[in-house]
Amino acid sequence: MKLDKVLVIGAGIGGLTVAIALRRKGFAVDMIERDPEWGIYGVGITQQFNVIRAMASLDLLDAYLEQAQGFDRTTLFGPDGSLMTSFETPRLAGPDCPSNAGVRRSDFQKVLGSRALELGAKLRLGVTAERFDEDGEGVDVTFSDGITGRYDIVIGADGIFSQTRRLIMPDAPEPRYTGQWVWRYNLPHQVSPDEFQIFHGPCNAGLVPLARGMTYVFILSEEEPGFRLAVEGSAEQMRRRAVKAAPQIRDAVEQVVDDAGVVGRPLEVVFLDGPWHKGRVVLLGDAVHASTPHLGQGAGMAIEDAIVLTQELEKTADAEMAFRTYRERRFERVNFIVENSIRIGDAQMRKIPPVNVGEISGKMMGMMAQPI
């Protein structure tokens, strides 16, 4: 498909990945990002083997692994901290590359952002798209700073509260709160450098190895709608949430002492089961299928979206057809992740009967190992 210029709205994981993928195919890309500081919190993120494979396909693996801690093993523990099971996952990027990795979000954004700019994507910060005027051949975009621009297509990668989605689909469902929060913190030492540790029980939690000798700890809690977290006292709040956790987690969160280092967020979800585009404006990532972290695939789904969308734009002559085929290729995969992530969380909150997390995770891993 001939594209003279593409606009990508949002310079997070999904937006940067699609910008990289498009520039590698020679398409001109403009990016805009609402945040004038282009900031992101520095806590960790777990990325599984399908993400490692995706980084390799984008020629980003070496730069990525310089900032990440690779590991192959996942170990599950019971409420009392006893070992339940341990397993290794496949090395999809090759025998010399790890299966999974833990990385600080801020480091990952630097890797993606640096490569997108190196490849020639243009970025404007502190800017939003306020209006789209489409004539069948392209989209005239009016920006918040008064500037206008014309683009062949527009890609909305602006997150769960996507302004792009609201502009093109004003009747689309709004994000909803699930009832859980996730609390995150980077510990200054590595609990285990070669495995992801998951703890089940009244307080579900995990420990993820990061680069530079750090560990990312997360815990889940139930909070009333409207709960707000102030920065002051947030470390103590996180420690309180872990009182019923396994002993290993209780020991770990004793090191949660810096209020500024705590990141607590409500788990909110949205899923569009109808079209993912309108005319020449298309959505990807959390803008169309925001999930909870229970299966660890939120960022992975956005990254895969970016790759598949670029593939379809390259090989399909018509934008509408490319957008429809992109959705068809992605729908089953992301629907499984969203539905089952929510099911696991609902079971943890006793909203539904218990679910077999091991069985769900096994199906997820089998699906993610398949080509995108």
* Geometric angle at alpha carbon 222, from 216 and 223, rounded to 5°: 110
Which of 130, 200, 198 is closest to 158 using CA atoms? 130
* Geometric angle at alpha carbon 255, from 252 and 256, rounded to 5°: 100
- Alpha carbons 190 and 172: distance in angstroms, whole number: 43
Please give the pLDDT value at position 17.
98
Confidence of residue 41 (pLDDT cuts 50, 70, 90): confident
10 and 67 share one domain: yes
112 and 203 share one domain: no
Please give the pLDDT value at position 190.
85
Please give the pLDDT value at position 1.
81
How remote is the C-alpha of 28 from its chain's centroid? Answer: 25
**In contact, 316 and 270? CB cutoff 8 Å:** no
How would you list the strands of the sheet with 290-290, edge to edge? 83-88, 73-77, 195-199, 205-210, 214-222, 176-187, 263-271, 290-290
Please give the pLDDT value at position 6.
98
249 and 278 share one domain: no
CATH code (residue 258): 3.30.9.30
**In contact, 215 and 187? CB cutoff 8 Å:** yes
Report the pLDDT averaged over residues 306-320.
95
**Structural domain boundaries enclosing 338:** 6-71+103-175+268-369
HSE at residue 335, side-chain half, CA atoms within 13 A, is 10
- How long a stretch of residues is the chain? 372
44 and 136 share one domain: yes
* Tally of domains in the chain: 2
Confidence of residue 40 (pLDDT cuts 50, 70, 90): confident
Confidence of residue 39 (pLDDT cuts 50, 70, 90): confident
Report the helix count and the strand count for the chain, using DSSP H and E: 11, 20
User: What is the percent of the chain with per-residue pLDDT over 70, rounded to a whole number?
Assistant: 100
For 216-266, give the DSSP string: EEEEEEE--TT----STTHHHHHHHHTTTS-HHHHHHHTT---GGG-EEEE
119 and 41 share one domain: yes
Phi, psi torsion values for 122, nearest 5 degrees: -100, 135
For the stretch 136-194, pLDDT in tens is 899 999 999 999 999 999 999 999 999 999 999 999 999 999 999 999 999 998 888 89
Phi, psi torsion values for 340, nearest 5 degrees: -80, -30
- Which of 267, 284, 314 is where one domain is finished? 267
Higher pLDDT, 366 or 191: 366
The answer to whether residue 320 scores a pLDDT higher than 90 is: yes
262 and 184 share one domain: yes
Radius of gyration for the chain, computed over Cα atoms and rounded to the nearest angstrom: 20
- Alpha carbons 284 and 14: distance in angstroms, whole number: 7
Confidence of residue 76 (pLDDT cuts 50, 70, 90): very high
Assigned domain for 15 exists: yes
184 and 232 share one domain: yes
Task: Kindly state the tokens that stand for 272.
Answer: 């569009």
pTM of the model: 0.96
Secondary structure (3-state) at 193: coil
Share the mean pLDDT of the chain: 96
Please give the pLDDT value at position 303.
98
The answer to whether residue 97 scores a pLDDT higher than 90 is: yes
187 and 199 share one domain: yes
Report the pLDDT averaged over residues 58-82.
96
187 and 251 share one domain: yes
Higher pLDDT, 140 or 317: 140
- Which of 248, 267, 286 is where one domain is finished? 267
150 and 193 share one domain: no
For 253-279, give the DSSP string: HTT---GGG-EEEEEEEEE--S-SEET
Please give the pLDDT value at position 129.
98
24 and 146 share one domain: yes
Secondary structure (3-state) at 31: strand
Task: Kindly state the tokens that stand for 275.
Answer: 């079209």
For the stretch 195-241, pLDDT in tens is 999 999 999 999 999 999 999 999 999 999 999 999 999 999 999 99
Which of 160, 191, 163 is closest to 176 using CA atoms? 160
Please give the pLDDT value at position 191.
87
- Which of 244, 267, 290 is where one domain is finished? 267
**In contact, 90 and 49? CB cutoff 8 Å:** yes
335 and 190 share one domain: no
How remote is the C-alpha of 264 from its chain's centroid? Answer: 16
